[in-house]
C-alpha cells in the first residue's frame, strides 16, 4: 500500500542552524501538508501546499519556515534558524484531489534543537 515517507527519522541540530526535513508524499496526491507535535501537546497544522504554492499557513509558520517541492516527488520543510522551541515531531501529510478530506500522514521526523 502506498505511504508517505519522511527522512530523517531523527535530526539533532544546534540552535541557530538551518534544517531541512524531507518528505515523499503518495505519488498521485496533489495536496501536501506539514504538521508538528511538541511533546505532550496537540498535533498542530503548519502549512498546506497545492499547485506549487502555499494555500494556507498557521501563525506558527513565520518567516523562519519555508516549504518547497523541488521535483516531482519530494516536499521539504526548511527551518532557517532553529530555536529550542522548534523541538518537536514534524509530520508530513498528503491527499488526493478527489478524496473527501482524508490526509495521510508519514511516520514523522523527530527534531531536537540543542
Partner 1 sequence: DQQVKQNSPSLSVQEGRISILNCDYTNSMFDYFLWYKKYPAEGPTFLISISSIKDKNEDGRFTVFLNKSAKHLSLHIVPSQPGDSAVYFCAAKKGTQGGSEKLVFGKGTKLTVNP
Kindly tell me which residue out of 48, 82, 87, 94 binds partner 1, with binding defined by CB under 8 A: 48
Measured in whole angstroms, how far is the alpha carbon of residue 38 from the centre of its chain?
A: 13
| Cα three-residue angle 47-51-56, rounded to 5 degrees | 25
Whether residue 92 has a cis bond before it, omega within 30° of 0: no
The set of residues, in sequence order, having a beta carbon less than 8 Å from that of 59 and lying 6+ positions away, is none
Q: Which stretch binds partner 1 (CB under 8 A): 12-20, 50-58, 62-70, 76-84?
A: 50-58
Q: Judged by CB under 8 A, does residue 28 bind partner 1? A: no
Q: Which stretch binds partner 1 (CB under 8 A): 13-21, 39-47, 70-78, 80-88?
A: 39-47
CA-CA-CA-CA dihedral for 23, 28, 31, 32, to nearest 10 = 0
Kindly tell me which residue out of 44, 60, 64, 66 binds partner 1, with binding defined by CB under 8 A: 44
Q: Judged by CB under 8 A, does residue 61 bind partner 1? A: no
What residues line the site for partner 1 (CB under 8 A)?
4, 6, 31, 33, 35, 41-45, 48, 50, 55-56, 58, 91, 93, 100-108
Amino acid at each position: 500500500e502506498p505511504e508517505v515517507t519522511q527522512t530523517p527519522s531523527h535530526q539533532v541540530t544546534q540552535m541557530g542552524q538551518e534544517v531541512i526535513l524531507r518528505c515523499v508524499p503518495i505519488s498521485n496526491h496533489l495536496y501536501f501538508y506539514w504538521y508538528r507535535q511538541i511533546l505532550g501537546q496537540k498535533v498542530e497544522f503548519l502549512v498546506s501546499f497545492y499547485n506549487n504554492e502555499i494555500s494556507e499557513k498557521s501563525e506558527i509558520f513565520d518567516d523562519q519556515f519555508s516549504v518547497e517541492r523541488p521535483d516531482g516527488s519530494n516536499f521539504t520543510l526548511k527551518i532557517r534558524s532553529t530555536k529550542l522551541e522548534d523541538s518537536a515531531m514534524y509530520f508530513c501529510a498528503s491527499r488526493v484531489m478527489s478524496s473527501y478530506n482524508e490526509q495521510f500522514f508519514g511516520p514523522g521526523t523527530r527534531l531536537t534543537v540543542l
